[in-house]
Amino acid sequence: MSKINYFVLITGFTLLFAACKPEVKQQTLQTDNTESLLENRYQQLLNYPIDSLGFPRSMSLNPDSIHKAPSKDWTSGFFPGSLWQLYKLTGNEAYKEKAAQWTALMENQKYNDKTHDMGFKIYCSFGEGLKVEDNQFYKDVIVQSAKTLSTRFNKKVGSLRSWDFNSDIWEFPVIIDNMLNLELLFEATKISGDSTYHKIAETHASTTLKNHFRPDNSIYHVVVYDTITGVAKMKVTHQGFNDESTWARGQGWGIYGYTMAYRYTKNPAFLKQAEATAKFYMEHKNLPEDGIPYWDFNDPAIPNAPRDASAAAVVTSAMYELYGFTKNTVYLDFANKVLANLNSSNYILNDKVNGPFILNHSTGNWPKNDEIDEPISYADYYFLEALLRKKAL
Ligand code: GLY
């Protein structure tokens, strides 16, 4: 073979190899010291001192300052939930002990009827505990919390009320995030045998399906209902860029919520909506190459807008479950890609940051200029859930 032919053959082979291996680019992100970074972060969650009024919610960097919240805050269940998940990931009993201690501090929320966030709070803490051990006390708290949450259901509207504030303008507001609270209700029926909770959850999901989605399967954040007629009379945002924009985490709650609702109901309309919503998200022209979205798909500042790693973590975890139901590898490939990118030094906090968090670059509430581009507890919770779901495949 002449030197030129040999050169052409080798070059062709190299190009062909590169074309068949698009994941190489992602893998290079993981060549950093991810494992030791993660170990350090996990240890920081374990070391964080127990404080009934100090559930770690988020953190400002430079200077480091931890934003702590009491158990009534919507985010309080995520920290205990992350500890339960760390126990499952590592097998280290110390995480289990700490998880149980933090979880016990959440019990006082079981009669709190002023919030729809009962699922986030109680299911992410007691529910995660129940996945680890059969515990009658945990079951009782879950059922009582479901009973309390059910008092927010309005039959005429067919939904659970989300918020009580702004009641002079919002007669009966329902936010897409509320889909996540349904898991508590579905599980309460499984535990107690009382179908009331399951029926409320399924009705809420059906009502939300009718009113929260735009024709392109993007999602309105807040839908306001008339309690006399049950009609959806206003569609607005609270945490997105504007009423017609697509708030990234809201889209994530929708993908996760309908996949989870399908798990309990096997209603094909729920699965169809989860897939349509996922397609909108994955194919959006403003989704960056690494799959970690800007906080809102329509922020005109893109590409200079902050990212939201929490939305990415919620969606990644949901995609693993969606793949389980559909066996469509589009979801699996997407989840693997985004998880690899989150699980890199681009997103994992470095060991100089002193605080009980794992991931950086989440955005909590952009319109209020609150928790922008920083560590937030729910990003960690769904990141760990995604790691566990990947492991279980
Ligand atoms: N549920 C509130 C949020 O996603 O920020």
Is 243 one of the annotated active-site residues of the chain?
no
Residue 67 vs residues 56, 294, 375: alpha-carbon distances, Å: 6, 23, 10
Catalytic residue among 117, 290, 299, 308: 117
% of the chain at pLDDT higher than 90: 91
| 97-133 per-position pLDDT tens digit | 999 999 999 999 999 999 999 999 999 999 999 999 9
What would the pLDDT profile of 45-57 be if each residue is shown by its tens digit?
Answer: 999 999 999 999 9
What pLDDT digit, counting tens, does each position of 172-231 carry?
A: 999 999 999 999 999 999 999 999 999 999 999 999 999 999 999 999 999 999 999 999
Contact by Cβ (8 Å): 128, 142: no
- Ligand 1 atom with the smallest distance to the CA of 180 is 1
Ranges of each domain in the chain: 14-392
For the Cβ of 177 lying below 6 angstroms from any atom of ligand 1, the answer is yes
Active site residue 164: no
* pLDDT tens figures, 267-277: 999 999 999 99
So what's the pLDDT on residue 33? 82
Q: How confident is the model at residue 29 (pLDDT cuts 50, 70, 90)?
A: very low
What does the alpha-carbon distance between residue 314 and residue 310 come to, in Å, rounded to a whole number? Answer: 6
Report whether residue 249 contacts ligand 1, using a CB cutoff of 6 Å.
yes
- Ligand 1 atom nearest residue 253's Cα: 4
Q: Could you give the angle at the alpha carbon of 205 between the alpha carbons of 204 and 209, nearest 5°?
A: 115
pLDDT at 14 over 90: no
**Structure-model confidence comparison of residues 2 and 23, the more confident one:** 2
Question: What is the predicted pLDDT for the residue at 183?
Answer: 98
CA distance 152 to 171: 13
Residue having the nearest C-alpha atom to atom 1 of ligand 1: 177
152 neighbors 114 (Cβ within 8 angstroms): no
14-392: in CATH 3.40.50.880: no
Q: How confident is the model at residue 32 (pLDDT cuts 50, 70, 90)?
A: low
- What's the chain's Rg over C-alpha atoms? 22
Mutate to test the pocket of ligand 1, among 162, 175, 177, 310 (most ligand atoms within 8 A of CB): 177
pLDDT at 9 over 90: no
Choose one of 249, 295, 362, 377 to mutate for the ligand 1 pocket test, by most ligand atoms within 8 angstroms of C-beta.
Answer: 249
Q: What is the mean pLDDT of residues 5-15?
A: 42
CB 100 within 8 A of CB 81: no
Residue 318 Cα, ligand 1 centroid: separation in angstroms?
Answer: 16
What is the best residue among 165, 239, 247, 363 to mutate for testing ligand 1's pocket, by most ligand atoms within 8 Å of CB? 239
Residue whose Cα lies nearest atom 5 of ligand 1: it is 364
Note the pLDDT of residue 98: 98
Q: pLDDT tens digits for 280-332?
A: 999 999 999 999 999 999 999 999 999 999 999 999 999 999 999 999 999 99
Q: What is the mean pLDDT of residues 71-87?
A: 98
Q: Has residue 19 got a pLDDT over 90?
A: no
pLDDT over 50 (residue 15): no
